[in-house]
Amino acid sequence: MAAVSANQPRVRADVDDPILLEVVRNYLISTCEEMGAAMMRTSYSTMFNEARDFSCGIFDKAGEMVAMGDFCPAHIGAIVHTVEWAIKEVGPENMEPGDVILHNDPYRGGCHLPEFLTLKPCFHDGKVVAYAANIAHMTDIGGMVPAAFGDTRNIFQEGIRLPPIKIYRQDREVEDIFNIIASNVRTPEVSRGDLKAMVGSTYLAERRVIELIERYGVDVFNGLAERIKDISELLVRRAISQMPDGEYTAVGYLEDDGVVRDKRYKFVVTVVIRGDEIIVDYTGSDPQAQGAINQSFGTTASATYATIFHMIDEGIAKNGGAYRPISIVAPPGTVVNVNYPGSCVGGNSDTYPNTMDVLFAAFAQFSDRSTAADGGTSGLLGFYGNSADSGHPFVLLHIEGMGWGARADSDGNDAIVTKNGNCLNSPCEVFEVRYPVRIESYRIAERSPGVGRHRGGYGVERIWRCLAPSTVSAHLNRLMVQPWGIKGGRPANNTALLFQRASETEWKTAHELFGTLSSGKFSNIQLMPGDQILLRTPGGGGYGDPLDRDPGNVRRDVLDGLIDSAGAADVYGVVMDADRESVDAEATARLREAMADAAS
Amino acid sequence: MKMSIAVDTGGTFSDLIGIDGNGELAFAKTLTTPDDPSRGIFEAIRKAGIDARAIDYFVHGSTVATNMLIERSGGRVGLITTKGFRDVLRIQRIVRPDSFDLHWVKPRHLVERSLSLEVTERIGAHGEETEPLDEDGVRDAIATLKREGVRAIAVSYLFSFLNPSHERRTQELIEEIYPEAHVSISSDVFPQWREYERTSTTVIDVYLKPRIDTYLTGLERQVERSGAGGLLIMRSNGGVMTTASAKRRPVTLIQSGPAGGVIASLEIGRLMGIDTIMTADVGGTSFDTCLISDSAPTTTSSTELEFGIPIANPMLDIRSIGAGGGSKAWIDSAGLLKVGPASAGADPGPACYGRGGSDPTSTDANVVLGRIDPAFKLGGDVEVLREPAADAVGKLGERLGFERERTAAGILEIMNNGMAEAMRLLTIDRGLDPREFTLVAFGGAGPLHAADLASLLGMRRVVVPIYPGVFSALGALLADARFDYVKSRITFSENIDPDVIGQDFAELEERAAADFEREGFADPPRIVRSVDFRYYGQNWELEVQIPGGEVTMQSIEESRRRFDAEHERQFGWNFPESDYELVNFRVTAVATRSTVELPELESGRLPQPARMGNAYFHDAGGYVATPIYRRGELLAGNEIEGPAIVVEDDATTLVPPEWTARVEGYGNMIMELA
């Protein structure tokens, strides 16, 4: 893709034309979606094409995001910082047509090591006029834990770290770089295929951006990019100014870093609403942990932006302008801004949703749009062994759904991945064909959510049986801290991760059975044929007083077999008729009154 | 004189096209009668002046199944499934449609949890039985569903696509114990891996069964009573089938309506020697587009009932967005002009109908710009008024600070760009370049937007076919009988046994032969075999053809090379030295059904325009005198230079400046950029 000649624009266009603005804005968003479609079609790994754990964006020449596709929220904050960093470090003056830059360093604006950024400067008339960027989760990146998530203690145990470097020059692969990466990961062909898919999508974007510039001219493109961002900024400011000024502080705890036994880590957030701006200040949060739970600044920024975008109108186009009214204070050396060489791979998986939950608690102090805590774990289990079908080594990162927190307007959703991701689960049949396991059951985890006027969503329970030796690593959350309710809603049940040896009948924790320090965060335990694993994810926290719950909704849960009649009476004060089909309204009113009296 | 007809029952209109043995054509458009669609059908037959007793070929395309799903108007469904997996329909795939929407509510599937019943049994990942079917458990489950009065039962067990014996035995038990119940088993409906998608589709199939059965049985009776014969039903894959097949597998009726337009494009393309086509069907509320590559429409195996509720069913890959003649223009909170997806519908309709609609629509924009001329009625009987259209567009323009023409042009520009993006995404999903395609535009508004769409995508040729307003019905009239068969057997490259694959194909082809015999064909169908390949570790497959006859390592190798080449073409890279997997084995069976031949148009000199209009073209700097021709007066060989407008009863074609239109031998108009 050589630089393009300096033709005059083909179409007379005006920066102040709002119709052109709308056309170009949609064009750029579609281009990001097309990048995603191309990625899905051409990539190798399940993380890309089944789990869709990647994000695509177009940036202007100053490195500010102009458009994004349907983003994986984990990337939304990090991508702006990581692109900014990569541009600064390489320097636009050192970029040439046909370059592609690769970068995954969490201390340079990234989120955590598995997220690889490819960045392609787009050239017109010999100058950089825009950037196409793609950030995606690589399943294996070397290091001590297959698929990266376990009980690492520093960045060197986590895997290969790359500063911003060129992996394509003059439209050709820089073979040496590919070879270095291939030599440092467990499944080199997968990495190679995925990197090519990422690069391919940036080429597609460059072509589309240059076509646009040839049509309307570079000045019009630049001017429209500014306006596109300004509009999002305006809308975000307008939404913030509808929030009441003030400072709202919430505190939440994250359990267990996998390295220090039974320690909890404090997260403090103060949301400051001042006119049309928000400052989110994490001052007071604990010093960084020894284990992998720390967030890089990029991860903290993502969690902050994602929460705020959840709180305001979802129709606002996310781009650089949308970020402008938001400031973040995250003291270095703490759990929300890890210093080199602190471990941080789990910061972007299970710490991130916990941080969002704390932020939501702060917003709940003045807003009805907020939510109780989610189940809050991504259910990450890393499997490593030999494939059932080919006998080749495999690395599998398992992701599981959990229950959403209840909301002011409705129950939490059942079985959805944490809010920092939006990845599909693996079908049981795909599991069994590919990997030497049998899924014994995959069910809704009954009694998992917190009750309330609205209850949390349900988590799930899955049981695997190993058919061949393989190792398992884990990085889970909420085995100790319960997903909390708000406004009188009750907490949900904890995560459970249990094992049963083939020769035994008892379920035990990893600590009990394998002597790991932590039962939720550990690496490389060895399982043998016949051994079983049980993972139960939490439901979401409840919202409001359970005695205010609509009896019709209680009835529905009884009919669905999610709660029995006794439970309906004990928890919600709802009395079902003997046939269990309908609610006894009078008896319910009496019982609820008695329960309310007893509570006060 | 024998008559062949097709009636496409859409959401608003029922379209009929008929042709007799002399090539004489008949048309009618009537309002759809949702309470009993057959009333609209027979009204259309009457309106077209057709004697029902002469009809011996009668294709019906229907939205009944689609509407039932959208409205969720079917009855309760039960599910019998493998122990441990009753919640597969509730868990779904754990994703959400918008990454930042805190208030989204996950759609529920069609089966209540208490009607999702587990049975002890297990088939392993290689098709082996690892636990026998607990028949007592099955009997208990059936008894429970019977007690609950559930009339539709889906059966879906893990790995039944490799070994259907447990599902088949369960079906026998249902038929024995509860013969009134409708049953669908997943190994029949969608024998492929991924238990959620398979179960979901099976549930949807059986959910449709009771009412589709009643509807089609009633229609059969009425057709018989009227003296007509030869009733066939349009399928989602673009083929036709008997009502018996439709009742057996109603999920194959879903989205069969838009398939007709694609089949008609394919057939028109075949007459004209064009094999690489993108379709643009612009109706009142929606825009549908599909690709035809090398004379084959691209297909997909999945659509959704709602977000996260898949319907896996071989169908044409038709993409829709909410853009059409009735799409309303509005201004968002940031002051930007938007078009759609809200539509003014048929009532009150666009402002230019003068029925009280005050929001400007894209039709109003076309009226303002002189592209729809008030001197001609829309659809033959709707009066077009310029003044309310101009008012509505003008008022919107005032809020934007634009004059009326610029506003109207802006509305069309935004709508056209939205449609173009949908088309572009469709080509990118297949690794194709839109510039290599011919655009075939139909639907009431398709020919009006076609040239602009083509320009946006860099396409140089547009075909406005005959009868663009009833084009879907024309497709139904021309469609073949077409059935698809698939067997999943995930096979790693080192473990390939050609004999096993040969048996799989033989099994599928036996099923095809039996089905076509049942459909009334004396001869066996034409068979096309294909295999879904992927490199080891990939999760997407590419379908490539494999020769008929004996399956050998050589024929598999040949297909493998085809796969490598296709991978390179679509994705820009391939990996010939890699291990690979065969995933699905497919057979498509086709037999010619229709004997309809389209009449040729006589040639002659270009007629005089019906009148001179005045149409606005932004690039030309304003209004330009524009001749308006009647389509019905044009003859083969006529050439028209843009700007020009061609009107017919239910469609208007715009030939912009720098475009020319030529009428070919069957009356189709070919527009090209000069």
Q: Is the pLDDT of residue B540 over 90?
A: no
Quick: pLDDT tens for B642-656: 999 999 988 999 999
Q: Is the pLDDT of residue B634 over 70?
A: yes
Q: Is the CB of A26 less than 8 angstroms away from the CB of B417? A: yes
> Which of B564, B555, B562, B556 lies closest to B535 in space, CA to CA?
B564
The predicted model scores a pTM of 0.93
Cross-strand bridge partners of residue B645:
B628, B654
Q: Is the pLDDT of residue B429 over 80?
A: no
Distance (Å, whole) CA B586 – CA A137:
34
Radius of gyration of chain A (CA): 25
Query: In the structure encoding, which two tokens stand for residue A234, read together?
Result: 């305006």
Q: Three-state SS across A89-126?
A: HHCHHHCCCCCEEEECCHHHCCCCCCEEEEEEEEEECC
Residues A164/A90, Cβ–Cβ less than 8 Å? yes
Alpha helix stretches (DSSP H) within A294-451: 297-311, 320-323, 351-364, 428-434
Residues 6+ apart with CB under 8 A from A373: A252, A357, A360, A361, A405, A483, A484, A485, A486, A491, A492, A540, A541
Quick: pLDDT tens for B307-344: 999 999 888 999 888 889 999 999 988 888 999 888 88
Q: Which of residues 210-239 of A touch B (CB under 8 A)?
A: 231, 234-235, 238
pLDDT for res B425: 84
Structure letter (DSSP) for residue B470: G
CA B366 to centroid of chain Cα atoms: 27
Distance (Å, whole) CA B266 – CA B480:
12
| b/e burial code for range A95-127 (CB count within 10 A of at least 16 → b) | bebbbbbbbbbbbbbbbbbbbbbbbbbbbbeee
Cross-strand bridge partners of residue A278:
A273, A326
pLDDT for res A90: 97
How far is CA B611 from each of CA A258, A515, B390, B634, rounded to the nearest angstrom?
A: 83, 91, 21, 14
Q: Which of residues 204-263 of B touch A (CB under 8 A)?
A: none
ipTM of the complex: 0.94
Distance from B407 to chain A by nearest Cα, in Å? 9
Among A41, A54, A202, pick the best mutation site for testing chain B contact (most B Cβ within 10 A). Answer: A41
Distance from A589 to chain B by nearest Cα, in Å? 27
pLDDT for res A535: 98
Quick: pLDDT tens for B586-602: 999 999 988 888 999 99
Judge residue B358's burial from the number of C-beta atoms within 10 Å of its C-beta, 0-12 exposed, 13-18 middle, 19 or more buried. exposed
Residue B664's identity, in one-letter code, is: E
| b/e burial code for range B416-428 (CB count within 10 A of at least 16 → b) | bbbbbbbbbbbbb
Query: In the structure encoding, which two tokens stand for residue B366, read together?
Result: 């076309």
Count CB atoms within 10 A of the CB of residue A284.
14
| Average pLDDT of every residue of chain A | 93
Q: Is A72 on the interface with B (CB under 8 A)?
A: yes
Query: In the structure encoding, which two tokens stand for residue B40, read together?
Result: 């609209």
Residue B607's identity, in one-letter code, is: P
Average pLDDT score over residue span A322-334 = 97
Judge residue A211's burial from the number of C-beta atoms within 10 Å of its C-beta, 0-12 exposed, 13-18 middle, 19 or more buried. middle
Q: Is the pLDDT of residue A5 over 70?
A: no
Q: Is the CB of B540 less than 8 angstroms away from the CB of A40? A: yes
* Cβ-nearest to B538 among A44, A414, A440: A44
Quick: pLDDT tens for B452-466: 999 999 999 999 999
Contacts of A23 in chain B (CB under 8 A): 413-414, 417
Quick: pLDDT tens for A466-522: 999 999 999 999 999 999 999 999 999 999 999 999 999 999 999 999 999 999 999
| Average pLDDT of every residue of chain B | 92
Query: In the structure encoding, which two tokens stand for residue A570, read together?
Result: 């004990």
Q: Is the CB of B90 less than 8 angstroms away from the CB of A444? A: yes
Among A16, A21, A22, A413, pick the best mutation site for testing chain B contact (most B Cβ within 10 A). Answer: A22
* Cβ-nearest to B105 among A196, A410, A561: A410
Q: Give the phi and the psi of residue A253 in degrees, each rounded to 5.
A: -120, 145
Distance (Å, whole) CA B2 – CA B19:
9
Distance (Å, whole) CA B173 – CA A437:
31
Quote the Cα angle for B288-B294-B300, to 5°: 45
Average pLDDT score over residue span B83-103 = 94
**How large a percentage of chain A has pLDDT more than 90?**
80
Residues B258/B473, Cβ–Cβ less than 8 Å? no
Q: Which of residues 431-450 of B touch A (CB under 8 A)?
A: 431
Distance (Å, whole) CA A241 – CA A273:
8
Alpha helix stretches (DSSP H) within B430-470: 446-457
Q: Is the pLDDT of residue B381 over 70?
A: yes
Average pLDDT score over residue span A118-140 = 95
How far is CA B133 from each of CA A522, B120, B138, B169, B191, rounded to the nearest angstrom?
A: 39, 6, 8, 9, 19
Q: Which of residues 291-320 of A touch B (CB under 8 A)?
A: 306, 309-311, 314, 318
Residues B18/B50, Cβ–Cβ less than 8 Å? yes
Q: At what angle do helices A18-42 and B553-571 cross, to 10 degrees?
A: 150
Q: Which of residues 540-599 of A touch B (CB under 8 A)?
A: 559-562
A7: confidence class by pLDDT, cuts 50, 70, 90 = low
SS3 content of chain A, % helix, strand, coil (to 5): 35, 25, 45
Quick: pLDDT tens for A88-127: 999 999 999 999 999 999 999 888 999 999 999 999 999 9
Q: Is the pLDDT of residue A3 over 60?
A: no
Q: Give the phi and the psi of residue B271 in degrees, each rounded to 5.
A: -60, -35
Structure letter (DSSP) for residue B12: S
pLDDT for res A159: 96
Judge residue A332's burial from the number of C-beta atoms within 10 Å of its C-beta, 0-12 exposed, 13-18 middle, 19 or more buried. exposed
Ordered structural domains, chain B, with CATH: 3-69+213-256 (3.30.420.40), 71-209 (no CATH), 273-322+415-478 (3.30.420.40), 327-399 (no CATH), 481-591 (3.30.1490), 611-673 (no CATH)
Residues B396/B407, Cβ–Cβ less than 8 Å? yes
Q: Among B214-218, B367-371, B541-545, B558-562, which is the least confidently predicted range?
A: B541-545
Handedness of CA A389, A391, A396, A400 (dihedral sign): positive
Query: Which of A11-20, A182-191, B152-161, B394-403 has the largest mean confidence?
Result: B152-161
* Cβ-nearest to B333 among A235, A399, A416: A235
Residues 6+ apart with CB under 8 A from A374: A353, A356, A357, A402, A403, A404, A405, A412, A418, A419, A456, A483, A540, A541
**How large a percentage of chain B has pLDDT more than 70?**
99
* Cβ-nearest to B537 among A38, A73, A189: A189
Tell me the domain boundaries of chain A: 18-229, 371-544, 547-599
Q: Is the pLDDT of residue B444 over 80?
A: yes
The residue with greater pLDDT, B198 or B71, is B198
Quick: pLDDT tens for B17-31: 999 988 888 988 888
